[in-house]
């Protein structure tokens, strides 16, 4: 399978992950406004499953950096498979909460609060499990990201002061998302051998692990998304029959969103062999800044910002940039 042998290339892969994870939700904008996110999400989960299989069957079978994709799947033991499946189920719950938070509060809030909190939890959990990198620099980066979360929440509170009920609901959904999103990666990492050049019998490489993870996402969708359809955060319940009313291009939008996210997750796990799980996850979750940029500058979610809001947003972006820089340096120094 294709593996990453240099830290600089691993960082590039993590930056691509950041772009993918911060941009996939824009595919929701390609579907009509009346197309409910619960329906969109079925296609998203399918897109994640499809792209992880395609990458496994192509990049995962090239080169001699470790067991090929299909051989790796066959030799995986039950424990590693269940870890990856469970990680997919936990992620799926977190992501449905994230999409719900986007519906309620917008991308400029849901991503910084939800994914920012996930970054803090994820870096700590993965570093404790596999301590790769300078802990002081990692801690400094996490602290700056935490400050950015606070600044973004203050900006949203000031901007949406007239919609306190809506903002409270959006923030609660984002916080719940962050908790689950912060722990899922550790389960996937536990299913993998850390160095693809030294495979461990029973554990999986990045291509096999991310595909089993995607199976967990897709399978758990029948539980989590069914609940979301019956007990939606906004609007009336959604009958499953409505899914079949969507045109091909509407379904394609959801699949496209899943493909974008799945590419990011695959590259992130491929990079983890060189960067370490904590740094790889932390850099990927810089998606918060990318999503906030989309929300602020493209979708204009802070149009007509109140006094003080632009300054808070600028400080948020600076904190994120500085925090991510420290996370990169944590392995480079």
Each residue of 4-13: pLDDT tens digit?
Answer: 989 999 999 9
Region 77-102 average pLDDT: 93
For residue 192, the cross-strand partners are 204
Q: Picking from 17-26, 100-109, 119-128, 314-323, which range would have the lowest pLDDT averaged per residue?
A: 100-109
pLDDT at 102 over 60: yes
pLDDT at residue 98, as a whole number: 83
What does pLDDT average to over the chain? 89
Most confidently modeled range among 73-87, 134-148, 229-243, 313-327: 73-87
Please write the tens of the pLDDT for every residue from 120-178: 899 899 999 989 899 999 999 988 988 887 887 778 777 765 444 446 788 888 889 99
Share of the chain above pLDDT 70, in %: 95
The predicted model gives 278-304 an average pLDDT of 80
CA gap 30, 247 in Å, rounded: 12
Higher pLDDT, 165 or 254: 254
Examine the pLDDT at 199 and tell me if it is beyond 50.
yes
Q: What is the pLDDT of residue 117?
A: 85
Mean pLDDT value of segment 107-114: 72
Q: Is residue 1 part of a domain?
A: no
What is the mean pLDDT of the segment spanning 242-255? 96
Domain-located, residue 98:
yes
Q: What is the pLDDT of residue 283?
A: 85
Mean pLDDT of 294-315: 81
pLDDT band at 51 (very low <50, low <70, confident <90, very high): very high
* Confidence at residue 108, expressed as pLDDT on a 0 to 100 scale: 62
In the chain, % of residues over pLDDT 90: 57
**Torsion of Cα atoms, 73 then 78 then 82 then 83, to 10°:** -80
CB atoms within 10 A of CB 315: 17
The pLDDT of residue 96 is above 60: yes
Q: Which residues pair with 204 in a beta bridge?
A: 192
Q: Which two tokens stand for residue 21?
A: 């994870």
Range of the domain at 272: 7-332
pLDDT number for residue 28: 86
Contact by Cβ (8 Å): 78, 285: no
Domain-embedded: residue 2: no
Looking at the predicted structure, is the pLDDT value of residue 77 above 80?
A: yes
- Mean pLDDT confidence for 260-277: 95
Residue 204 is given by DSSP the state B
Residue 271 inside a domain? The answer is yes
| pLDDT band, residue 213 (cuts 50/70/90) | very high
* Per-residue pLDDT at 239 exceeds 50: yes
Structural domain total, the chain: 1
The sign of the dihedral angle between the CA atoms of 17, 221, 71, 181 is positive
Which residues, other chains included, contact 285 with Cβ-Cβ below 8 Å and sequence gap of 6+? 18, 21, 115, 116, 118, 119, 122
What's 137-154 look like in SS3? HHHHHHHHHHHHHHHHHH
């Amino acid at each position: 399978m294709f593996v990453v042998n240099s830290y600089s290339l691993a960082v590039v892969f993590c930056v691509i992950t950041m772009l993918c994870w911060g941009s996939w939700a824009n595919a929701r904008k390609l579907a009509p406004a009346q197309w409910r996110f619960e329906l969109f999400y079925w296609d998203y989960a399918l897109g994640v499953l499809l792209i992880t299989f395609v990458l496994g069957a192509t990049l995962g079978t090239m080169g001699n950096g470790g067991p090929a994709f299909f051989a790796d799947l066959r030799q995986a033991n039950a424990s590693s498979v269940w870890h990856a499946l469970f990680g997919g189920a936990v992620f799926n719950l977190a992501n449905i909460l994230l999409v719900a938070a986007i519906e309620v509060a917008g991308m400029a809030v849901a991503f910084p609060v939800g994914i920012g909190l996930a970054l803090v939890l994820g870096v700590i959990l993965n570093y404790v499990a596999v301590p790769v990198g300078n802990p002081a620099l990692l801690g400094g980066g996490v602290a700056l990201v935490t400050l950015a979360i606070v600044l973004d929440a203050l900006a949203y509170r000031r901007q949406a002061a007239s919609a306190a009920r809506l903002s409270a609901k959006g923030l609660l959904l984002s916080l719940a998302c962050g908790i689950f999103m912060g722990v899922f990666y550790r389960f996937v990492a536990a299913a993998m051998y850390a160095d693809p050049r030294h495979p461990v019998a029973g554990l999986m490489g990045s291509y096999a692990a991310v595909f089993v993870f995607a199976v967990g996402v897709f399978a758990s969708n029948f539980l989590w998304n069914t609940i979301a359809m019956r007990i939606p955060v906004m609007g009336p319940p959604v009958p499953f029959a409505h899914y079949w009313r969507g045109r091909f291009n509407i379904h394609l939008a959801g699949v496209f969103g899943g493909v974008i996210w799945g590419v990011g997750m695959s590259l992130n796990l491929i990079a983890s062999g060189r960067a370490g799980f904590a740094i790889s996850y932390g850099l990927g979750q810089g998606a918060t800044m990318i999503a906030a940029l989309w929300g602020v500058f493209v979708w204009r979610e802070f149009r007509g910002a109140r006094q003080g809001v632009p300054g808070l947003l600028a400080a948020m972006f600076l904190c994120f940039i500085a925090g991510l820089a420290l996370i990169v340096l944590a392995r480079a120094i």
